[in-house]
Amino acid sequence: MPSLHRPLVVVWVYLLLPGGRSSFYGFNNGFHYQDISNRNGNGEIYFNGIRLLVESPQSSVSGTRGSSVTLPCKYRYEPELTAPRRTRVKWSWLPANAITTAVSSDAFTTETEVMVAMGNRHRSYGGFRGRVRLRRSAPGDMSLVINELQLNDTGRYRCEVIDGLEDESVTVELELKGVVFPYYSKKGRYHFNFFAAHQACQDQEATLATVEQLFSAWEEGLDWCNAGWLADGTVQYPITVARHSCGGEDLAPGLRSYGQRHRFLNLYDAFCFSASTKGNVYFLKDQKKLNFTQAVQACVRDGSQIAKVGHLYAAWKLAGFDRCDAGWLADGSVRYPITKARLNCGPPQPGVRSFGFPPLHRKFGVYCYRQPFLENKK
């Protein structure tokens, strides 16, 4: 039996294999562990002093919808090896806005595979198929490049590098630049359970906001006294000015939380998150006001579609869209965006003004959304 000096770790392989028998006889990967089996059926593997390290210089990365983003991940050996090794990398993802029919939050902890790669071979999965690749700009670079970012791509990504028996990983959070807005039903306040809230946001080209996104919006001045669902199944609302009807005057400004609520039975509003789009939101200039049906048709005739609430909020927040004209949107609401407050355009603060859901026969202007491939070159 070879002489070893102070082995650091002993792993009995027969505990890991079916029937307790080692199939690692003669195994020596020249790296982390060395098999010193004495041929009696009990293989002992010792740590040889070389470590695999997986690191990321950034714990979080942000991008814009439709763009490309790189999640950094690099592995190295300590001390460095003189010859390259055959490693396997796996990227997995825990969505920020995971949706399940289960009421228990335990179902929200399962990670989804994004990509696996070994050498020059790789495979991507699900909605990431064809949109992801490894950067490989230098030895050990396993950074994940995601193209055509989508609203649902946000969450925690895990870069896992596997070499023999070694398995090390690091996580990177992906966020999208966007805007949080409160949203309620046409029927009035507090008509959404968790799943209806998720669908309502999705219908408006948005997703349920995360706690972090709502907190950032509160820091930027969002004040809303109606409670709404968030992506983690909690119900909260942001208050910048404490008052009696919004949790009490004695409480400090911040996020008021009801905690986890029953996803089927409890009804609240929703806080939605919309990111920038490649399309163009504009107010359709027309000689006359339009009812809702006429507004929808007018956008179609102009080579567009009637804008959704998420479109308008993203254009206001991220593109500085400013228009003091009330206009129909796809959900039957009437709103207008103000970035520079002025006389006869509502409150002094910037924001998207809302007339709620007026009768569909009423006449207003209309906001249209034109996708990039429909834009006319002038």
Domain ranges of the chain: 51-176, 179-274, 278-370
Find, among 284, 294, 268, 369, the residue nearest to 326 by Cα. 284
- The pLDDT of residue 30 is above 80: no
Q: How far apart are CA 112 and CA 100, in angstroms?
A: 14
Half-sphere exposure in the Cβ direction for 12 (13 Å, CA): 9
Cis peptide bond upstream of 79, omega within 30:
yes
Whether residue 193 contacts residue 264, with contact meaning beta carbons closer than 8 Å, is answered with yes
**Domain at 278-370, CATH homologous superfamily:** Mannose-Binding Protein A, subunit A (3.10.100.10)
Which CB contacts under 8 angstroms, 24+ apart, belong to 337-343? 337/312, 337/313
Mean pLDDT (the chain, rounded)? 85
Distance of CA 137 to the CA centre of its chain: 26
Whether residue 213 contacts residue 290, with contact meaning beta carbons closer than 8 Å, is answered with no
Number of C-beta neighbours around residue 366 at 10 A:
29
Find, among 94, 141, 139, the residue nearest to 114 by Cα. 94
Find, among 81, 75, 83, 73, the residue nearest to 52 by Cα. 75
Please write the tens of the pLDDT for every residue from 152-177.
Answer: 899 999 999 999 878 999 999 999 99
Please write the tens of the pLDDT for every residue from 291-331.
Answer: 999 999 999 999 999 999 999 999 999 999 999 999 999 99
Q: How far apart are CA 294 and CA 360, in angstroms?
A: 10
Q: Which amino acid is located at 198 in the chain?
A: H
Same fold, 51-176 and 179-274: no
Confidence bin at 26 (pLDDT 50/70/90): very low
DSSP letter assigned to residue 230: -
Q: How far apart are CA 64 and CA 118, in angstroms?
A: 30
Q: Which CATH number fits domain 51-176: 2.115.10.20, 2.60.40.10, 3.40.50.300, 3.10.129.10?
A: 2.60.40.10
DSSP letter assigned to residue 16: T
**292 CB-near residues (< 8 Å, 6+ apart):** 328, 332, 360, 361
Q: Which amino acid is located at 60 in the chain?
A: S
Please write the tens of the pLDDT for every residue from 78-105.
Answer: 988 878 788 999 999 998 865 443 434 4
Structure confidence at residue 166 (pLDDT): 86
Confidence bin at 107 (pLDDT 50/70/90): very low
Q: Which residue has the tokens 């103000």?
A: 338
Please write the tens of the pLDDT for every residue from 31-54.
Answer: 343 344 444 445 555 555 789 999
- The pLDDT of residue 368 is above 70: yes
Please write the tens of the pLDDT for every residue from 126-144.
Answer: 999 999 999 999 999 999 9
Q: Which residue has the tokens 């009804």?
A: 267
Q: How far apart are CA 179 and CA 148, in angstroms?
A: 19
Measure the N-to-C terminal CA separation of the chain; round to a whole number of Å. Answer: 82
- Residue range 179-274 forms a domain whose CATH class is alpha beta
| Phi, psi of 287, rounded to the nearest 5 degrees | -70, -25
Strand partners, 183: 270
